[in-house]
Amino acid sequence: MLRGISLVIFGLAALLANAPSSSAGTVGVVVTGEAALQPSLVAELEGWLRSHGHQVMALALDPPATTRLVDCFTVDDTSCARKVVEAKSRTDSVVFARATHEGKTISLTIYWIVKGRPPAGGRRGCEECAEDALRGAADELMASLAPAATVSTGRLNLHSTPEGMIVMLDGQKIGVTPIERDIAAGEHSVVLVDGGTRVGERQVKLDAGATVDITMPVVYPRDDNRYRPPPSGPSHLPSILCWAGGGVLLGAAGYMFYLGQQGGPNHPEDRYEYPYSNATGFGLAGAGATAIGVGVWLWVRGSQESAPLATLTPGGGYIGWQGRF
């Protein structure tokens, strides 16, 4: 029955410039109710959010999801509304506002739904209130809901090789690499785009208060004339051959040491004498050990992938070196 009521839908990206990063996050706004009251209510919500460091951006919910959200609040089903936001919202939270006449009284209802949390809501009413009173009621409601709607954030420091790629975070363009910004804690999809072509994609998990440094390689599709085959991984065949050769040499050295114990005055029953066996064994043993050492060096040199790592958390931080050997 509310499908005939005009909806004003705005997506808002929130980044609190004058508040701790824990209160930042993207916000979408849906306003419905009395058509005559919608413009002033939209303007007031925009003004309040902007004054608290938020930025206005496009659609947070698609039209079917918006209709579903309105239906949920029509029957005061906040659980239903939360499910819609969790599943369909492109933002971290959604503000839903409705202003209606109930006789001579204007009733204003606002809910702030943050993903992963129960909705926080409130209601104000005034009899034959003027536009200024309505704006004041909206300010009071938003101020009372803000503490329950804070979003924990971390910092993403993103680079690409090469730089200059468009960055899409959860489907929204946020800038060009290199880029560093606070985003809501949790899992996010990061996509690199160059000239309309998707050239990189990965999932990023960000903990609250942490800083994550990421460098994404740019990979063009095979049918793109900018495509360059990724460099093949280092071959471990030389290392394996060195180890195999070293093993054979050590085996031969052991056999020569065995022969060196045969014959001579200590073993008159053995008619064979091998006067140079021990010396040969020592030579072979040295060569075998050298070959194995060279193989280890080649393996480490070819397979090592390492980089410095630094992570900050509210309680401290970590600094060190990460790598694969």
Q: In this structure, is residue 263 part of a structural domain?
A: yes
Q: Are residues 6 and 141 in the same domain?
A: yes
Q: In this structure, is residue 58 part of a structural domain?
A: yes
Task: Please state, in angstroms and rounded to a whole number, the distance separating the CA atoms of residues 77 and 80.
Answer: 5
Domain extent for 114:
2-149
Q: Is 222 helix (H, G, I), strand (E, B) or coil?
A: coil
Q: Which of 186, 217, 248 represents a domain boundary (last residue)?
A: 217
Predicted local distance difference test score (pLDDT) of residue 159: 93
Q: Are residues 208 and 252 in the same domain?
A: no
Q: Which of 149, 166, 195 represents a domain boundary (last residue)?
A: 149
Q: Which of 182, 217, 252 represents a domain boundary (last residue)?
A: 217
Q: How many domains does the chain have?
A: 3
Predicted local distance difference test score (pLDDT) of residue 14: 32
CB atoms within 10 A of CB 92: 27
Q: Are residues 159 and 198 in the same domain?
A: yes
CB atoms within 10 A of CB 226: 11
| Per-residue pLDDT tens digits for 183-235 | 777 788 899 999 888 999 999 888 878 888 999 999 888 877 777 766 666 67
Residue 147's nearest CA partner among 52, 278, 212 is 52
Predicted local distance difference test score (pLDDT) of residue 12: 34
Contacts with 23 (C-beta within 8 Å, 6 or more apart), sequence order: 16, 146, 150, 151
Cβ(195)–Cβ(226) below 8 Å: no
Q: Are residues 259 and 121 in the same domain?
A: no
CB atoms within 10 A of CB 149: 21
Q: Are residues 118 and 171 in the same domain?
A: no
Residues lower than pLDDT 70 in the chain = 1-25, 49-50, 53-58, 128, 131, 149, 151, 229-234, 262-275, 302-325
Main-chain dihedrals φ then ψ at residue 128, nearest 5 degrees: 50, 40
Q: Return the residue matching tokens 């503490």.
A: 147
Q: Are residues 205 and 105 in the same domain?
A: no
DSSP strand pairing (153-161 vs 211-217) = parallel
Q: At what angle do helices 277-303 and 237-260 cross, to 10 degrees?
A: 160
Q: Count, in order, helices (H) and strands (E) of the chain.
A: 6, 15
Q: Are residues 67 and 203 in the same domain?
A: no
Q: CATH no. for residue 183?
A: 2.60.40.10
Q: Are residues 99 and 73 in the same domain?
A: yes
Q: Is 97 helix (H, G, I), strand (E, B) or coil?
A: strand
Q: Are residues 169 and 288 in the same domain?
A: no
Q: Are residues 86 and 194 in the same domain?
A: no
Q: Are residues 172 and 56 in the same domain?
A: no
Predicted local distance difference test score (pLDDT) of residue 180: 87
